[in-house]
Amino acid sequence: MTMLSQRVKGISPSATMAISTKAKEMKRQGIDVIAFGVGEPDFDTPEQIKAAGIQAIAEGFTKYTPPAGTPELREAICAKHWRDYGLEYHPNEIVVSVGAKYALYAAFQALCDPGDEVLLPAPYWVSYSEQIKLAGAVPVVVETREEDGFNLDPARVAEKITPRTKVIVLNSPNNPTGAVYSPDILREIGFLAIKHDFFIISDECYEMMVYDDAQHFCVAALEPEFKRQTLLVNAVSKAYAMTGWRIGWVACQEPIARAINALQGHSATAGSMNQRAARAALTGPQETIREMVAEFDQRRRYMFERISAWPGVTCARPQGAFYMFPNFASYKGRSFQGQEIRDIDYLGTLMLDQAHVAVVPGSGFGAPDYIRFSYANSMANIKAGLDRVEAFLRHLD
Ligand code: PMP
Ligand code: GLU
């Protein structure tokens, strides 16, 4: 008898989590590592949000909540969708989850049967492909190209549709590319979904992080008939620097929400005090978001200028989220201290081991020639980290 199930044997560990764990371990050993690896705001959770969590604990709000989340938080989530997009949801169409990650996991579990196909634009965030496989479904990759700014081409999506297509995953602003989809593109995808009767899982975790002239559009709000077809996934993690609080949600039609609610009732439900803090985030002052995004924008401009100047490296200018995704393909075949760089994942590993800069190699994102650099780090660290990478690249033969 084999020990592990076929289901878990088929999945890879999260590349983002693996890098951050390794970088933390190196730091624990006293090595001065600069972290461009894990994507999480380096800002602290705003005070009024922390205070709401502390108050919840002080009041004894420390017990189970309904598996779909507290009515108060679900109402606040409905109000947020109304305020930001004019979308009207009822609390029974909202399920609060343990971060957007679990909301996505539960959404795939709720929608997919074995053999169903899920259209997945690549490069993609590392967990989608594995969550799709965990639901027994098949990820069907739709390439996006650096020369198009990693924009999604609806014609390429159309080519991949089959009678087994059940879902398309949209993630705009995109992790790892920073692409932000235009309303025209989103509309075309929405009409394809209606015509061929598949669902859209739209992960809008980075909705607030857009730069230059880019604007975020919520696909569910673009045409009245899109809302039924869409599961909106979001979280307080990024916008309010609350990654450790683990609060996300899905907004969708009631029968799907009911199924996810039942699934969560048997698996994982969000902490009570964390939900209070998330409610304070959504209903309280929103200025901190603007301040944080302005800071990210400065770092983005600086990092983009420097990375674009690296010899042999190309980089699409990111319009959203907080990542650069440069292409290192031309470094294949070069060597470090006699060791040939056969693939770019190895180059990424060397950046951590030799230059002590944590980055995420692109293969986990379905883009093996690339390396992801997060700029959710202080300007001083960004400068020092880029200096180190530059010095390291100069040492390659
Ligand atoms: N979606 C994307 C695109 C992400 O980058 C992340 C990482 N934070 C998540 C979902 C998961 O978010 P959370 O921390 O709320 O689980
Ligand atoms: N989403 C972030 C990232 O891509 C956090 C890590 C994770 O949840 O995978 O780095």
The Cβ-side half-sphere exposure at 324, using a 13 Å CA radius, reads 27
**Res 204: pLDDT:** 98
Domain that holds residue 124: 47-283
Q: Please check whether residues 98 and 166 belong to one and the same domain.
A: yes
Query: Ligand 1: distance of its center to the CA of 312 in Å?
Result: 31
pTM comes to: 0.96
65 is a domain residue: yes
Q: How far apart are CA 149 and CA 54, in angstroms?
A: 43
Distance in angstroms (rounded) separating the CA atoms of residues 324 and 329: 15
Which of 11, 38, 175, when mutated, tests ligand 2's pocket best, judged by the most ligand atoms within 8 Å of its CB? 38
One domain, residues 278 and 384: no
pLDDT at position 194 is: 98
**Shared-domain flag, residues 125 and 203:** yes
pLDDT at site 397: 87
Q: Return the pLDDT at 18.
A: 85
283, 315, 339 - which closes a domain: 283
Ligand number nearest to the C-alpha of 39: 2
How many CB atoms are closer than 10 A to CB 9?
A: 9
Which helix H or strand E contains 324, and what residues bound it?
strand 323-324
> What is the 204 CA–ligand 1 centroid distance (Å)?
9
For residue 201, the CA-to-ligand 2 centroid distance in Å is 18
Residue type, 29: Q
Q: Is residue 132 a contact partner of residue 120, using CB atoms and an 8 Å limit?
A: yes
Look at the chain and report how many structural domains it folds into. 2
pLDDT in tens, 28-37: 999 999 999 9
Ligand 2 geometric centre to CA of 24 (Å) = 15
Ligand 1 atom nearest to CA at 243: 14
**Length of the chain (residues):** 397
Residues 138, 234, single domain; the answer is yes
What's the CA-to-centroid distance between 339 and ligand 1, angstroms?
35
Q: Which ligand is nearest to the CA of 23?
A: 2
- Residue 13 is predicted with a pLDDT of 83
Ligand lying nearest the CA atom of residue 372: 2
Q: Are residues 146 and 272 in the same domain?
A: yes
Is residue 387 domain-shared with residue 303, that is, in the same domain? yes
171 lines ligand 1 (CB under 6 A): yes
Which ligand has the nearest atom to the CA of 101? 1
Give the residue, by CA position, lying nearest to ligand 1 atom 12.
100
Whether residues 34 and 63 share a domain: the answer is: no
Clarify whether residues 168 and 55 are in a common domain.
yes
* DSSP symbol at 45: P
Residue 237 belongs to a domain with what CATH number?
Answer: 3.40.640.10
Cα–ligand 2 centroid distance for 39 (angstroms): 5
What was the pLDDT predicted at 171?
98
Check residue 12 and give its pLDDT: 87
For residue 215, report the distance from its CA to the centre of ligand 2, in Å.
23
- Cβ of residue 175 lying under 6 Å from some atom of ligand 1: yes
Ligand 1: residue of 238, 249, 274 to mutate (most ligand atoms within 8 A of CB) is 238
Boundary residue ending a domain (283, 314, 349):
283
Residue 88 falls inside a structural domain? yes
Same domain, yes or no, for 257 and 359?
A: no
CB 252 within 8 A of CB 88: no
Residue ranges in the chain whose pLDDT is less than 50: none
Q: Do both 256 and 326 map to the same domain?
A: no
Domain assignment of residue 149, yes or no: yes
**What torsion do the CA atoms of 90, 91, 93, 96 make, to the nearest 10 degrees?**
150
Decide whether any atom of ligand 1 lies within 6 Å of the 207 Cβ. no
Pair 29, 55 in one domain = no
Read off the tokens for 271. 């902490």
Cα–ligand 2 centroid distance for 191 (angstroms): 30
Question: What is the predicted pLDDT for the residue at 367?
Answer: 97
Answer whether residue 40 is part of any domain: yes
Structural domain ending residue among the three candidates 240, 259, 283 = 283
